[in-house]
Chains A and B, each alone.
Chain A
Amino acid sequence: MPDVQSTVLEFVNKLRKRKIEGSQATARYTVELLRSVISQQRVPHANQASALIDAVKAVGEQLVAANPVELAVGNVVRRVLHIIREENLSLTTAAMAGLDLMDASDDDELDNSKGIGYPAMSAAVVAAARSTLRPPSLQTLLEGTPESATVPYTSSSGADSESKSKSADKSSITRKLKHDVIEEVNQLIQEIAGCHEQIAEQAIEHIHQNEVILTLGSSRTVLEFLCAAKEKKRSFRVFVAEGAPRYQGHLLAKELVARGLPTTVITDSAVFAMISRVNMVIIGAHAVMANGGVIGPVGVNMAALAAQKHAVPFVVLAGSHKLCPLYPHNPEVLLNELRSPSELLDFGEFSDCLDFGVGSGSPLLQVVNPTFDYVPPNPC
């Protein structure tokens, strides 16, 4: 595991220094990293799933701590954990089902009992498996540790002639869990990588001929979405708000123009002025929270309010790795990042105002340059 550890550290560093841009890239890296962690993890024969889960949790916590604002990391870690638990559960139930068929032990798997299931304790074992590998909840805490009680019981009961075959089965079971988990994780990677195409397939249902679309920031999902509609020979115009101070709108406009879409670049201040002539607002989100609130590039709340005032549909495109189960408390501050003031003010010009060394030690001028904006679920 040392090499995995170093990879993890490297990734953590990148996250902390914000070297990785974009939730999709981050999610992909995270999943791949977790996959390598899982495959490298040496799991004990008992409680394989919990060992895996612990390992993944440890890495996940490190990653989330490195960049708490990048919610995709946390989302994806939770997805992987869920995969492990699910796989564990399905294997357990399969093992229960296949308990009678001892020779089909390859397919059988019981993770938290040493013995392949005696029908007698199979149910208990499965229940234990389910309980211990459930995400920590009030119920599991109250149920205590039935698992540890059953384990020695089962192990003791399994320590008989069948133990040899069991061990053989167990190794296969071990491999089975990991194998399944890694398969699922691969699928997850596929899903993350392919989210653009899947979303873009729906473009044709929403964009019609001669429409005017307003968009903000530069999201690849939105780009693919619009281009997919264009492929289907729908001709429409796009207004792109430039999105200062990062000017991501310029990037998006360049791409759109390269793909042949008639684009107009407007300043962010003109969003309200132009929204009356816009048919739909489409943006890509950074994250979608559990209450339905959307975190997006700075400026989307303004666009959302304007769209609401003019009754313009406001569409948010988000891949599944952006769906976050957390509830946002004070998201503008807690889930936001402030970037350098130099993007707004030239340091050379304003150095006298920004200097901490003059006067009372705190300058008269503060500069606020947030990266994200929060759109509440039902803007009033």
Chain B
Amino acid sequence: MESRRNPRAVVDPKVRQVGFFTSSSQPDSTPQPDPIAPASHPVSSISPSGNSLSPVMIPPPRHNSSDTFPLRAAAASAVSPSSFSYSSRRDFPDGSTTASPGRVSRGSFAKSSVPAASSLPGVGMDSMAAATSSSVPASRLTTVSIVNMPPGLTEKASGKQVQSDQMKNSKPLKEKTTKAERRALQEAQRAAKAAAKAEGGKAPLVTSGSVASTSKAAKPAKPSSQKNEGAVAAGPSEKDRKKDAPHPRMQYDDESRVVKAKRRAVVKQTEAKNRVELFRHLPQYEHGTQLPDLETKFFQLDPMHPAVYKVGLQYISGDISGGNARCIAMLQAFQEVVRDYSTPPEKTLNRDMTAKISSYVSFLIECRPLSVSMGNAIRFVKNRIAKLPITLAEYEAKAALQSDIERFINEKIIMADNVIVKHAVSKIRDGDVLLTYGAATAVEMVLLHAHELRKKFRVLVVDSRPKLEGQLLLRRLIKRGINCTYTHINAISYIMHEVTKVFLGASSVLSNGTVYSRVGTACVAMVASAFRVPVLVCCEAYKFHERVQLDSICSNELGDPNAISKVHGREDINYLDGLTNNANLQFLNLMYDATPSDYISMIITDYGMVPPTSVPVIVREYQKEHLLV
């Protein structure tokens, strides 16, 4: 996706620009190409005019989510006006219904939504038809905006002005003719609003989130969310608010962006002093400095949901680590958010919710950069929110969302793990000596299940500093009675001659088959292939990503440098303790590395056992499934 995009100031490369979007907000869930974009301009003109009122005005409902949804509906309706839109609208509740049988807790919700859904199409159709009729000649975007405008305007009468700002921001990117006048208008609005920006934090974050939002910035959601939240971003200027969370692969040596990102930040991270030059493009903060500060703010977090805040703190402190765990924790926090959510007056649920989610995501990014699995999950959630029929009642929508998230967790993570385990244990034979590195949940499940099946094998657990995750895995395996050997990664050449198979976990698998995973995985895979030992990677399909990475440097995460200088538990070794501030000495604590695909024999996913070259195919199919569901 990203390669197609020209880097714009506030564009989030991860998100495809479809339909309207202010430069900042771009839904990546919608696959429509760019040509649609310019059409947004005429529409944007409508909004400022509508908003030229109070400082706390809600910008016109030109959110991506709302855009995308009507967009899709419009596309659908373009095909066959009423029936198709009906059916497409119904797909959504149907989907949730089918998912619900498995979820007892949600069953009632889903069922209740069905009758509601059945009544919806009628309503929806009308609006859609209206939209279609009026808008088809114009671009789809115009259609959307027209349709949404009346309700949006009324809804957002009290909205913040941020939306208008957002419009303004997008304008430079997309505008053609009336830019000047629009800008003048917005400048006036902004000036008026600047004074009243007390709680501005969240909103700007949300709006700008589209630019840099990690997974999917829901454009429309941002302006509305801005109204609600506010405390996330602290920057006074509207423009800064536009750039929401730093986009997941923001280059941190770009001074201006970093400054802007910092101004919006909730979590004030202090930059580490002694940074490795090669990694200037990655953020590196002093670890642990903000944790106590954040903890004290727990009861003052107006805009932030406590569940999300808790998850963020857990990320910072390292209590939750590992792709699956982080993703599940985040999704469960979002479920709580949905549960506690109530649509503010004058707003649509889609946009508002998306804006909220975006702001939470940016907070989580500040705590710890997102993993790919989390990014995909967020994209899914935003996609789902965007697809919510606009005529759903609030409780139905919330129920549907919650059940969707639940379904995602169950299908993509838990059941996927079960499928992976089933495939993988078929590869384990009696007498095997299996090597594993670090603490991958998928691999642990495979080993435990194989042990339950009474297979006779031995496990070699390889560990490395500074996280020493292997010790936890070791404990769990020993408790179950599996014969284990423990060693440090330096000794893999020593033990590799007796290993029969290597099982590794992954944080993500990229499009060219590169496995992006805990640092050290590449070393293990390389030594294994040098000794002709097959390497099997166990990875759920939701962790696949379509980007390409050539080495471990262009995108990574930097951990705490003090974790290297201080050797825990070995007092005699602390030679480097006092030297952390020496100009000549730097510590590099990488979290991830990229293993080239030629070291990998096979990837075990919930789609089966595939070679690394099949990953782009799965990514493509996976996305399609995403959209159609």
Docked-complex contact A242 and B465, CB < 8 angstroms: yes
Question: Could you tell me if B471 and A345 are in contact, using CB atoms closer than 8 angstroms?
Answer: yes
Q: Does A68 contact B (CB under 8 A)?
A: no
Contact A269 B493, beta carbon cutoff 8 Å: no
Contact indicator B491/A368 (Cβ below 8 Å): yes
Q: Quick check: B489 and A269 within 8 Å, CB to CB?
A: yes
Query: Does A204 have its Cβ within 8 Å of any Cβ on chain B?
Result: no
Any B CB within 8 A of the CB of A120? no
Q: Which of A268-297 contact B (CB under 8 A)?
A: 268-274, 276-277
Q: Would you call A267 and B585 a contact (CB within 8 A)?
A: no
Q: Given the complex of chains A and B, what is the CA–CA distance between A267 and B552 in angstroms?
A: 14
Evaluate contact between B486 and A302: CB separation under 8 angstroms: no
Q: Is residue B586 contacting chain A, with contact meaning CB distance below 8 A?
A: yes
A18 close to chain B: CB less than 8 A: no
Q: A233 in the interface, Cβ–Cβ < 8 Å?
A: no
B589 proximity list for chain A (CB < 8 A):
267
Residues of chain B contacted by A367 (CB below 8 angstroms): 485-487
| B261 CB-CB contact with A under 8 Å | no
Whole-angstrom CA separation of A253 from B483 in the bound complex: 38
- Known A-B contacts A309-B526, A365-B484, A368-B485; A272 and B593 likewise in contact (beta carbons under 8 Å): yes
User: Is A346 on the interface with B (CB-CB < 8 A)?
Assistant: yes
Partner of B570, one of A239, A247, A265, A299: A247
Which of the residues B490, B520, B570 comes within 8 Å of A298, measured between beta carbons? B490
Mark contacts of B488-511 with chain A using CB atoms, 8 A cut-off: 1 yes-contact digit, 0 otherwise. 111111110100000000000000
Indicate with 1 or 0, residue by residue over A245-277, a CB within 8 angstroms of chain B CB atoms. Answer: 101001101101100111111111111111011
**Known contacts A263-B585, A273-B553, A332-B493; is A379 also within 8 Å of B576 by CB?**
no
CA–CA, A254 and B585, complex, Å: 8
Task: Give the contacting residue for B494; candidates A243, A250, A332, A365; CB below 8 A.
Answer: A332
The yes or no answer to B138 lying at the interface (CB within 8 A) is: no
Q: Which listed residue, B466, B474, B564, touches A365 by the CB 8 Å rule?
A: B474
Query: Given A261-B584, A306-B523, do A364 and B484 touch, yes or no (CB 8 Å)?
Result: yes
Determine how close the nearest CB of chain A comes to the CB of B216; give it in whole angstroms: 29
Q: Provided the pairs A273-B553, A369-B487 are in contact, do residues A268 and B586 lie with their beta carbons within 8 angstroms?
A: no
- Are the CB atoms of B494 and A298 closer together than 8 Å? yes
Q: With an 8 A cutoff between CB atoms, is B217 at the interface? A: no
CB nearest to A373 among chain B residues: B493
A20 sits at the interface (CB 8 A): no
Shortest C-beta distance, A250 to chain B (Å), equals: 5
Task: List the B side residues contacting A146 at CB < 8 Å.
Answer: none
B508 CB to closest chain A CB, in angstroms? Answer: 15
Q: Which of B278, B483, B575 contacts A364 (CB 8 A)?
A: B483
Question: With an 8 A cutoff between CB atoms, is B53 at the interface?
Answer: no
- Residues of A in contact, count (CB < 8 Å): 57
B464 and A268 contact, CB distance less than 8 A: yes
B296 at interface (Cβ–Cβ under 8 A)? no
B487 touches A270 (CB 8 A): no
Chain A residues with CB under 8 Å of B497's CB are 332
Docked-complex contact A344 and B487, CB < 8 angstroms? yes
Q: Which residues of A contact B552 (CB under 8 A)?
A: 270, 272-274, 276
B448 within 8 A of A: no
From DSSP, what is the main secondary structure of chain A's interface residues? mixed
A264 touches B526 (CB 8 A): no
Check A266–B588 contact: CB distance below 8 A. yes
Closest-by-CB residue of A relative to B471 is A345
Q: Are B464 and A269 in contact (CB under 8 A)?
A: yes
CA distance A332 to B490 in the complex (A): 13
A374 within 8 A of B: yes
What per-residue 1/0 map shows which CB atoms of B559-597 lie under 8 Å from chain A? 000001101011001011001001011111110011000
Q: Which residues of B contact A345 (CB under 8 A)?
A: 471, 486
A139 at the interface (CB under 8 A from B): no
Q: Does A149 contact B (CB under 8 A)?
A: no
Cβ–Cβ < 8 Å partners of A272 in chain B = 520, 522-523, 526, 552, 593
Q: Is the CB of A263 within 8 A of B586?
A: yes
A58 within 8 A of B: no
Shortest B463–chain A CB gap in Å is: 8
**Residues B567 and A247 in contact, CB atoms below 8 Å apart:** yes
Provide the A336-378 mask, 1 if CB < 8 A to any CB of B, else 0. 1000010111100110010000000000111111100110000
Cα-based distance from A220 to B567 in the complex (angstroms):
23
Q: Contacts A301-B527, A305-B526, A306-B526 known; A369 to B593 CB distance under 8 Å?
A: no
The residue in chain A whose Cβ has the minimal distance to the Cβ of B493 is A301
Partner of B586, one of A265, A274, A341: A265
Closest chain B residue to A303, Cβ basis: B523
Q: Are B585 and A265 in contact (CB under 8 A)?
A: yes
Q: Note all chain A residues with C-beta closer than 8 A to B587.
A: 264-266
* Residues of chain B within 8 A of A350, CB atoms compared: 471, 474-475
- Within 8 Å CB of B485, what residues of A? 365-368
B465 contacts A267, CB within 8 Å? yes
- Report Cα–Cα, A299/B493, bound state, in Å: 8
- A312 CB → nearest B CB, Å: 13
Q: How far is the CA of A305 from the CA of B496 in the complex (A)?
A: 13
For window 428-477 of B, CB contacts with A under 8 Å fall at 463-466, 471, 474-475
Q: How distant is A296 from chain B, measured CB to nearest CB, in Å?
A: 11
Are B590 and A273 closer than 8 Å at their CB atoms? yes
Q: Is A244 an interface residue (CB 8 A)?
A: yes
Q: Decide: B487 and A265 in contact? CB cutoff 8 A.
A: no
A277 vs B552: C-alpha distance when bound (angstroms): 10
- Are A370 and B494 neighbours in the complex by a CB distance under 8 Å? yes
Given A345-B486, A380-B530 in contact, is the A268-B465 Cβ separation under 8 Å? Answer: yes
**What residues on A are CB-neighbors of B518 within 8 Å?**
269
State whether B565 touches A265 (Cβ < 8 A): yes
When C-beta atoms are compared, the residue in chain A nearest to B483 turns out to be A364
Once the chains are docked, how many angstroms separate the CA of A160 from the CA of B488?
74
CA distance A350 to B468 in the complex (A): 14
Taking the closest CB of chain A, its distance from the CB of B398, in whole angstroms, is 44
Query: B590, A266: Cβ atoms under 8 Å?
Result: yes
| Among candidates A266, A268, A276, A353, residue contacting B489 with C-beta atoms closer than 8 Å | A268
| Partner among B276, B464, B491, B519 whose Cβ is within 8 Å of the Cβ of A264 | B276
11 more A-B contacts (CB under 8 A) besides A267-B466, A298-B491, A298-B494? A247-B567, A267-B465, A268-B464, A272-B520, A274-B552, A276-B552, A302-B523, A302-B526, A305-B530, A346-B569, A370-B494
17 CB < 8 A contacts A-B? A244-B490, A250-B575, A253-B575, A257-B584, A265-B564, A267-B564, A268-B488, A269-B520, A270-B552, A272-B522, A273-B551, A305-B527, A345-B471, A365-B474, A369-B488, A369-B491, A370-B494
Seen from chain B, the residues whose Cβ lies within 8 Å of a Cβ on chain A are 276, 278, 463-466, 471, 474-475, 478, 481-495, 497, 518-520, 522-523, 526-527, 530, 551-553, 556, 564-565, 567, 569-570, 573, 575-576, 579, 582, 584-590, 593-594
